[in-house]
Amino acid sequence: MEEKTALIAGATGLIGNELLHILLESSEYKEVYALVRNPLKMKHPKLKEVMVDFERLNEFKQYFAVNDVFVCLGTTIKKAKTQEAMYKIDVDYPVEIGRIAQEAGARHYLVVSSMNADRKSKLFYPRMKGELEEKVRQLNFEQHSIFRPSLLLGNRGEFRLGEEIAAVLFKCLKFIFTGPLQKYRAIEGKTVAKAMYNVAQEKEQGKVVYTSEEIEKIAK
Ligand SMILES: NC(=O)c1ccc[n+]([C@@H]2O[C@H](COP(=O)([O-])OP(=O)(O)OC[C@H]3O[C@@H](n4cnc5c(N)ncnc54)[C@H](OP(=O)(O)O)[C@@H]3O)[C@@H](O)[C@H]2O)c1
């Protein structure tokens, strides 16, 4: 017990912060490196907070020789302003983290993508996530896990109008998300975090993509 080490990127976000707490409380991990650009404002004996410049990740490679790498980075077009800037955060940083971690000997790479990720899509967001997944496959980790949640629910301390409206609609119309529509059910950020943790504890998983429905099941 307490033999493993983890690296997490996106630990200030909705999924990432839930996951960070799970990792720190877990008896499986002895050290958790959190790559952040803004302080976490918390302390824990196992937590090693590493303030990084995400444009120069290579300069921090001494922190990448871990067992499990969790990537929960992402942004919105509203915040990023341009598709190029968004792509950098949602694709380039996650892939660069994977590349450095693989070189450093990390065992398992786990990343949050999105439902409907499709690199052939005409729409920017699903195409971006599809390209993320393709680039993750090319990293060629022995084990990689790609999580495709549907709409995320949870308190993110930030107002996102579109997501708030979708979340309210989902809660009111929850009863229709059964049968073939079940896969569109919104999912709590903490459920995704729990599923990522659970998958990381399984041995010899290989390379797997998890749908939102599967994420719900694995988290239980
Ligand atoms: N929202 C949805 O309904 C939904 C649905 C499916 C999939 N997803 C995907 O799920 C993933 C996680 O979502 P989430 O809601 O948990 O994310 P989130 O709460 O928006 O958190 C995003 C994380 O990325 C970091 N980040 C953003 N811009 C950055 C930058 N320029 N440099 C370095 N770090 C940066 C943030 O750090 P700071 O605190 O420093 O900004 C934060 O830790 C994302 O990839 C998202 O696309 C979202």
Tokens linked to 150: 């549907």
Going by C-alpha positions, the residue among 143, 140, 216 that lies closest to residue 184 is 216
> Which of the listed residues 77, 78, 152, 196 should we mutate to test ligand 1's pocket, taking the one with most ligand atoms within 8 A of CB?
152
The structure's pTM equals: 0.95
CA-proximal residue: ligand 1, atom 24 (nearest): 73
Index of the ligand 1 atom closest to the CA of residue 73:
24
Torsion (CA) 36, 20, 74, 199 in degrees, nearest 10: 140
Query: pLDDT by residue (tens digit) across 170-179?
Result: 778 778 777 7
The confidence score (pLDDT) of residue 11 equals 97
Please indicate whether residue 129 is annotated as part of the active site.
yes
Q: Above pLDDT 70, what percent of the chain?
A: 99
Residue from 4, 33, 129, 210 carrying the catalytic annotation: 129
Dist. CA 40 → ligand 1 center (Å): 15
The confidence score (pLDDT) of residue 174 equals 78
CA 58 centroid distance within chain: 20
Instruction: Show the beta-strand stretches assigned E in the chain.
Output: 4-9, 29-36, 47-51, 68-71, 108-112, 143-148, 152-153, 187-188, 207-211
The confidence score (pLDDT) of residue 1 equals 63
Dist. CA 214 → ligand 1 center (Å): 21
What residues have CB less than 8 Å from 78, skipping those under 6 apart?
160
Dist. CA 1 → ligand 1 center (Å): 31
Length of the chain: 220
Residue from 30, 88, 125, 184 carrying the catalytic annotation: 125
Tokens linked to 117: 């990720």
Phi-psi region of 150 (alpha: psi -120 to 50; beta: other; left: phi over 0): beta
Index of the ligand 1 atom closest to the CA of residue 166:
3
Query: pLDDT by residue (tens digit) across 83-128?
Result: 999 999 999 999 999 999 999 999 999 999 999 999 999 999 999 9
Number of structural domains in the chain = 1
Residues with CB under 6 A from ligand 1: 10, 12-16, 37-38, 54, 72-75, 89-90, 112, 114, 149, 151-152, 156, 163, 189
Q: Which residues of the chain have pLDDT under 50?
A: none
For 101, phi and psi rounded to 5 degrees? Answer: -65, -40
Query: pLDDT by residue (tens digit) across 20-29?
Result: 999 999 999 9
Please indicate whether residue 63 is annotated as part of the active site.
no
Q: Read off the CATH number of the domain in which 126 is found.
A: 3.40.50.720
Dist. CA 122 → ligand 1 center (Å): 22
Domain that holds residue 100: 4-219
